[in-house]
Structure formats: C-alpha cells, structure tokens
Homo-oligomer: A and B are copies of this chain.
Amino acid sequence: MQTLEKTEPKLQELKTRLIEIKDIESAAAVLYWDQATYMPPGGAAARGRQMATLKQIAHEKFTDRAIGELLENLRSYEESLPYDSDEASLIRVTRRLYDRAVQIPAQFMAKFSLHRAQSYGAWAKAKPENNFAAVQPYLEKTLEFCQEYANFFPGYEHIADPLIDGVDYGMKAASLRSLFAQLRQELVPIVEAITSQTLADDSCLHQHFPEAEQIAFSHKVIEKIGYDLHRGRQDKTLHPFMTSFSIGDVRITTRVYENHLGQALFSAIHETGHAMYEQGVNIEFEGTPLADGTSSGVHESQSRLWENLVGRSRGFWEYFYPQLQEFFPTQLSNVSLESFYRAINKVERSLIRTDSDEVTYNLHVMIRFDLELAMLEGKLAVKDLPEAWNDRYKSDLGIVPPNHSQGVMQDVHWYTGMIGGMFQCYTLGNIMSAQFFAAALKTHPEITTQIQQGNCNTLLNWLQENIYYHGSKYTTAELIQRVTGSSLSIEPFISYLRNKYGEIYAL
C-alpha cells in the first residue's frame, strides 16, 4: 500500500497531462476531418496553420521534461504491477512513445512538418499533369529529411527500421523482406494461374449507380455489420479515411463514383473495420495513448478483414445481394449473385494499388516497399524512381503505366513527406487479417453461417474482446501470440486465397 499511496498521484498527474495532449491531438483531427468534408475553399490557408499550431503544442507538451520525470518516478511502481495490468501498460507504452519523441529535435519537426505540407501541395498540383519533374525536388528533400530522421535513432540495423518502428513497432526491414519474399513465392503462381484464364466480367459494377442510393446502401451495410452510429458517422470526401476524436466519436468518410459500385461500398466497409477497432477500445483508456490501435498493420488487418474476408465473401452477399438488387433493380435484377460475386472478386494485373484485388494487391505493396528501402539505402536516386517503378510494374505485374499519375505518382504517401515505413502495413494487414479470422473461426465455426444470415455479432464480439478492447496495450507481436497462439504467419492468408480463388477459378 505504501508504494500505491506514493506513486498513484504521479500516475494521475501523468494521465492528466496525457489527456490534455490527446485533447489537442483530437482537436487537430476534427480540424482535418472538417477540412476534408465541409470546409469552404476559403478556409484552407488558415486551416493549415491552425492544424500545425495544434500539432506543435501537442508535441511540445508530450516532450516536456516533466513527462520524462513522471515516467522515471513511476518505474518501480510499474515493475511492481503485472505486465498486462492497465496501469503498467499505460506507463510502458507512454515511455516507449516518449523515448521515441524526445529523440527528434523540435526544430527538425517544425521544418519537416512545413516541408511535408509543401510537398503535398506540389503533388496535388503536379499529379493531374503527370509532372514528376515538379515533385522531384520535394521528394529529394523528403528523402534527406527521412534519412536525417532515421539517424536520430543510431544503432539501427537498417536505415528504414526507425521509420517502420514508428508505425509498426517491433517490425524491421530485414524480417519484413524475408516475410514478403515467402509471400511472393506463394503469390506469383496463384496470380499466373488466374491471369492465364479469361478475365472475369465486372461490367455489372460499371453501370450508373446514383450517389444517394450508394450512400444509403453502404450506410445500411455498415450499420448492420456493427458500426455504432450513435458513436460515429459517415460523410462524403475525396480520399476516404477513418478518424477518431474519442472512443465515443469515431467517424468514416466515403467517396462515391457513380459509374463504379464497388468504390463507395467496399471503401465504406474498409473504413468501418478501422472504426470498429477504435470504437471497441476499453473506455478506461479514453484520452490516453492506450486508446489507439496498436499499429498500422493491426489496424489494416481489421479494415481488410471486414472489407475482404467478410465483405467480399459469398456468404455475406447471400444475405445482402437481394437487398442490393432492391436498391438498384434496373441495374442488377438480371445479374445473378454468382456473377456479382465473381465481379467483386475479379483478379487482374492492374496499375492502381487501391483498386487492385486481394490476390495481386500485395505485389503492388512490395514494389513500393522495395523502392523506398532502396531510396533510403542510397541505392536508388529520386530522379531514377519513375524508371525503377515502371521496370518493376513490368516485371512483377506485366504492365507499364501509361503515365505517372497512374504510376509513380498514384499514392500520396511519399509525397506527403515520408519515405520509409509507409507501405509495409498494407501487406502486414492482409496477412494478419487472415490469421485473426482463422483464429475466430476456430473458436466459433458458426461465424460462417451467421454471416450468411447477415449476422456478424459473434465475429465482432470475438474481435472486440480479443483485439479492439486492448487498444495499444499489447504490441503487434504480443497481440498475435495472445490471439492466435502463434507468431505472425503467412499460412492462413495463403490458405484463404487458395480456397477462395481456387474455387472461383477452378485451380
């Protein structure tokens, strides 16, 4: 009791400071959300400044020496508690984030932030013009910044490790390379076998589907699968995202293409996966660093699980397809469930990562991952990036982008000012989505038939209890071990692809 009495006030003080910081970060998130949804064009200039101000204040407050002292003073208290107690976890996770944040000088952060905003602006302007030359100097500067950033963490094995570590804690370039190589070895023959056949016909998705009905249907779907709209909402935007302002307010945004039914629908389910993760966190963690998802990879595993393993499954559409047909009778009444199912699971060698199918998707990611590593290593100059990109698309996917906006300029990631740590989470997410789903099915085989009845409760409850509830209490590796009983493995993902696409394409 003596320890408790002495140290609890310090933990309370730490929490008070952390909540204040989270409030400022959440305010910045609201400003971003508003910018992407409702802000009139005239608000843009001040808005950029306002978000930068809030981020700067949050960073200053988090790297305040007082936080370091509190963490130091709480060390013995932390050690007196079980590793997985909430309090020990809060101290441990905060210390990890603090130790990381204080490595980076405030002045560097300010310069880097400014550059990132400028780089984004240059890309947004240059992309429609396919003008790589206009972004090249920004990207060169970005590369320098990222190398400098990595060097604030001396002793790394690979220069990308500090960048990867910031979003996927515990992952390293070397182990990811080996994991991705294994995956590639399995994927390539599957892609070959499928793409040697006639392309699936997805013309049914490319009719005219009015925006309002698309939004209404996707709203119905995400509510049915378990997105709590009392603590969330869906708005229109240009680039879909999920954002969380508190455990009680987790929102998604959706983009609608009237000539492409899949875009709004699957992106809404994808973002809902992210949102249900954030909504499911233990309410006791509110306002603390434990209230976030534990890593980009695990976050992506949840969006992909709901988008693909649930949302592109035959069982899911056995329930929802008749309802979709009711929304779009002229477009779909003559399209069978089987045709629709094949259309939404069409596999092809394509150019755009975000539009690509489950089978080829990871090949897109690996190209980016390899290229960013090569740039950081100094083996690939920014000026040679477009050629390297096109070469890899030719060798890995057999096609060459006709222009840069469908090629090296398609993704915002590098142009928003980060090279390194940007892409591994997508493939990690795919791998983990299958591993988690397999674990859920092992405990609850009834999930499959429930999904056919439009009932996702058992699955959601299992994910909630095993993953969402814990927020970022456990690292990615710890979480996988706890939830699946083994370490990260590509096996469930490969099995899933073989089963699903083996059946569709009679492999």
Contacts and interface: CB of A to CB of B under 8 A. Distances in A.
A117 interface: no
A353 B189 CA distance: 76
A23 B49 CA distance: 8
A27 B228 CA distance: 26
Interface stretch (A180-188, A229-237, A476-484): A229-237
A248 B50 contact: no
A245 B26 contact: no
Interface string A213-250: 00000000000000011111101000000000111110
Given A27-B28, A30-B31, A31-B27, A229 B53 contact: no
Interface in A247-294: 247-249, 251, 286-287
Contacts of A47: 245-246, 249
Interface stretch (A34-42, A68-76, A466-474): A34-42
A230 B23 contact: no
Contact of A46 (B31, B44, B46, B287): B287
A382 interface: no
A43 to B, nearest CB: 3
A409 interface: no
A233 B38 contact: yes
A97 B39 CA distance: 30
Contacts of A106: none
Give the secondary structure class of A's interface: helix
Contacts of A211: none
B50 A27 contact: yes
B245 A43 contact: yes
A54 B24 contact: yes
A24 B60 CA distance: 15
Contact of A248 (B38, B45, B230): B45
Contacts of A286: 46
A27 B54 contact: yes
A57 interface: yes
A40 to B, nearest CB: 5
A409 to B, nearest CB: 29
B50 A23 contact: yes
A318 interface: no
Contacts of A230: 40-42
A87 interface: no
Contact of A27 (B19, B27, B42): B27
B20 A53 contact: yes
Contacts of A53: 20, 23-24, 27
Contact of A50 (B26, B41, B233): B26
A235 B34 contact: no
A255 B179 CA distance: 57
Contacts of A232: 40, 42
A283 to B, nearest CB: 10
Contacts of A231: 40-43
A235 B38 contact: yes
11 contacts: A27-B28, A34-B34, A38-B38, A40-B232, A40-B233, A40-B248, A42-B246, A43-B248, A43-B249, A47-B249, A50-B245
Interface of A: 19-20, 23-24, 26-28, 30-31, 34, 38-47, 49-50, 53-54, 57, 228-233, 235, 245-249, 251, 286-287
